[in-house]
Chains A and B, each alone.
Chain A
Amino acid sequence: MIDNLPAIEVRQLHKSFAQTDALAPLDLVIPRGAIFALVGHNGAGKTTLIKLLLNIVQPTSGSATVLGEGSTALNGASFTRIGYVSENQQMPDWMTVREFMDYLQPFYPTWDEGDLLDELELPSDRKLEHLSRGMRMKAALASVLAFRPSLIVMDEPFSGLDPLVRDELIETLLDRLSDNAPGEAEAGTTIVISSHDLAEIESFATHVAFLHQGRLLFAESMDRLTARFREVTVTLEGAGTVPPMRFPASWLMTESSESVFRFVHSNAETEPLEEQVRELFPQAGDIQAEPMTLRTIFLALVKSRQSQNRRRA
């Protein structure tokens, strides 16, 4: 029964500090077993959303459920199923890696670290305060993977890490995911990972949500997203510029030069792209529709939104 529920469900969740909206009211559903990338610039509201979900801060309004529990009701026992790794987390730096793991072990009935420390090449006798940034993240990740949580929430885990360490972390994470968490045999472990670097999560995320200036631009599966967005280049036969006209709402970032018209189609999966183009441009010759990277999709959305705002202003 519980497995049918989403891992996280957010309803009109809103957080403001004094007069500033850190997070505009948003709705979001994160399915079980997803690797959910929460992306956006620094200050977009990713960390605030994560802290709201984990009951580290309390919402101004709205609600969220995490693994079936109301987020504001999450307590110590809830964190036997939820792991949290953050770049800003204060750790007991005076402990060695081994002491840290030994200290945490009695808190978790499902603790099974196996050879995690070796796998992550962590020096067990070194104090946490003497670890490099990458090593600290590895230690934090090890302390979470060891209890096989149903939900892992990672806030900017790769920020400032060199590519080698980042790949090691991702590899370990994905390896461990292949072993399903107890009781999660069908759905698997859910991962929520925030990042401002789109390239680093593109390769393994199954779902993505874009946050911009405290607002959720969209949230959907990577498959659907990459199928939806196309960078379209239309070669126009004959001279002359494109006259001002009204384009379909799904066309973003339209621009034209002497004989070429470019735009981003945000609904290429469901709308007849070529028919739309030829209807508006009877002189259209070659029409090329290229898949887009996550980064280019994000940029197209942000720039389109900015130009909309300028027009409204």
Chain B
Amino acid sequence: MKQALHIFRKDVRHLTPELAMYCGLLVAFAVVTPLRWPGASGSEMLQMFATLVTFLLPIAWLVLITRTVHEESLVGDHQFWVTRPYRWSSLLGAKMLFLAVCILAPFAVVQAYLVLRAGLELGAALESVFLNLLFFVGIVLLPFTLLAAVTASISRTVLALTVLALSWAGVLALLDNLTIPRVMPPFVFQACSLLVAGSLVGTLIYQYATRRTERTWTMLLTTGVFYFGLYFGCSATNLGGLSSVLIRQHYPLAKSGTVSLSFTPSASGPAARVRPSITDTQGMEPVELPLAYRDADPAARVQDASVSFTIDGPGFHYVSPWRSLAMESEDLILLVPSSIFWSVQGTSVRMHVSVAAERLLPGQPETVKVSDRFRVPDGGVCVLLRRNISGNNLSCWYSGHGPSPTRVTGPVSGESCGGTTHAAVSVIHSLGGGIRVDPVAQSLVPLGGAVCPGAVLTFIPYRSAGNFRLEMDLPPLLLSQYKPHWLRME
């Protein structure tokens, strides 16, 4: 530890100019980021400057991380430190200390400042800020440190990062083009992230302990191939049935009387409807089954629904993977491989359908009186914008990735306040995952009019009532009878 501190102090002293610039950039980021929030009065130039600062931050991270790692470069055989009594663990410890104290801590402080600046409660935001920093470590600090550890100069680090990022994007694009997205089985993303992060940490330790750069590169590329293999395994194959087992375990069979599926065929077949984008897939034929989902509680909602089905006919058996499902209509649209569809379209087949989803129930409604800026449930803050955006003027801010789905109801006026009002309803959804440089997530609430000061809004947060799965055997049917109407007209 003593040696690690000694090396750390040396790094800080040498990189003081870079650190000063980084801190300046963070201060600029803290000052200008609120100008990008809805309703801020920043000029267009300031907004552009804020964008530029946000763009510069990852560059600053890359430069700082590379500079500190290259203070004692691990690649090459001319470094003075290689023949000095450095303990590799102390050296690695010194670098980790530098990353934690000089890069992560200032960034965490700025994140906390922005949360407070937005008027959010820091205590309530701590978990999301912590998760955000964890993402930051996993997605930025660790990969950048590892790349710096296997390259000899900053230009080579940038080159390696560019090549890896392009390869990454290229392979993902290729996989997306080749395969239809499937539902990621539960825990696979977490397990995969842990495995990849563990593998990267192990590779970094190995490089510091041995300085065998070629082997470290091999380990690094193997990790990449493993990740893509797993991704491909999840998105293009059934992982040998494991995927289905995990999903079934995670979504237990629904208790009778709460939710159900019913099959209600009509003689005329599916009604004409707008073609959803999900059906726009080569090599697959959409089949629209008159399967209606019912919940005993009309206020309940579902999210993250997915479906799998089997088709059995004379001499064949087909099992579909689990795919996302939109449950907003009375009918379910399933994608059947064209080869299967055309070979059995005129044959009577038996189908079994499995639907899995998370059930949501409304929580305790909370009424809030509207002012220019007011607190709302789930630790959020809403502001009234001076100018309407797409006819709406209510923007709600949350830390991290936003609240659970929340239904908002209340009176709204037309273009501006003072006129007649009418009741409106909207839903605030979670705002997506991943790393957020700006910890304040904003959501425009599309109530379809202007919310005026003094009005009372009701917020109903929807809480999870657990996962469920529905299984249903369909009577013998002809798939050709359930081709969606828009296809027949083409």
Contacts and interface: CB of A to CB of B under 8 A. Distances in A.
Interface of A: 51, 54, 56-58, 75-80, 82-84, 86, 88-92, 94, 103-104, 106-108, 140
Contacts of A82: 83
Interface string B1-39: 011001000100010000000000000000000000000
Contact of A90 (B6, B79, B85): B79
Interface string B63-91: 00000000100001111101111111000
Contact of A106 (B2, B14, B80, B87): B2
18 contacts: A54-B83, A56-B77, A56-B82, A76-B86, A76-B87, A76-B88, A77-B85, A78-B85, A83-B83, A89-B78, A89-B80, A92-B14, A94-B14, A103-B10, A106-B3, A107-B6, A107-B84, A107-B86
The 3 closest A-B CB pairs, nearest first, are A84-B83, A107-B85, A56-B77
Nearest to A83: B83
A108 B2 CA distance: 13
Majority SS of interface residues in chain A? mixed
Interface of B: 2-3, 6, 10, 14, 71, 76-80, 82-88, 212
A103 B13 CA distance: 12
Nearest to B89: A76
A77 B2 contact: no
Nearest to A51: B77
A41 B126 CA distance: 66
Contacts of B78: 86, 88-90
A140 B78 CA distance: 13
Contacts of B3: 106-107
Nearest to A74: B83
A78 B83 CA distance: 9
Contacts of A106: 2-3, 6
Contacts of B2: 106
Which of B14, B79, B84, B88 has the most chain A CB atoms inside 10 A of its CB? Answer: B84
A79 B84 contact: yes
Nearest to B14: A94
Given A51-B77, A103-B10, A107-B3, A80 B85 contact: yes
Contacts of A56: 77, 82-83
A91 B80 contact: yes
Contact of B85 (A57, A86, A108, A140): A108
Contacts of B83: 54, 56, 79, 82-84
A268 B71 CA distance: 55
Contacts of A57: 77
B77 A79 contact: no
Contacts of A84: 83
A104 B84 contact: yes
Contacts of A108: 85
Nearest to B78: A90
A166 to B, nearest CB: 22
Nearest to B86: A76
B151 to A, nearest CB: 15
Nearest to B82: A56
B80 A90 contact: yes
A24 B14 CA distance: 42
Contacts of A77: 85, 87
A192 to B, nearest CB: 13
A10 B170 CA distance: 50
Which of A54, A76, A83, A106 has the most chain B CB atoms inside 10 A of its CB? Answer: A76
Contacts of A92: 10, 14, 71, 80
A308 to B, nearest CB: 34
Given A77-B85, A90-B79, 15 more contacts: A56-B83, A58-B212, A76-B85, A76-B88, A77-B87, A79-B83, A79-B84, A84-B83, A89-B79, A90-B76, A90-B78, A91-B80, A92-B80, A103-B10, A140-B80
Nearest to B2: A106
A110 to B, nearest CB: 11
Which of A57, A89, A91, A108 has the most chain B CB atoms inside 10 A of its CB? Answer: A89
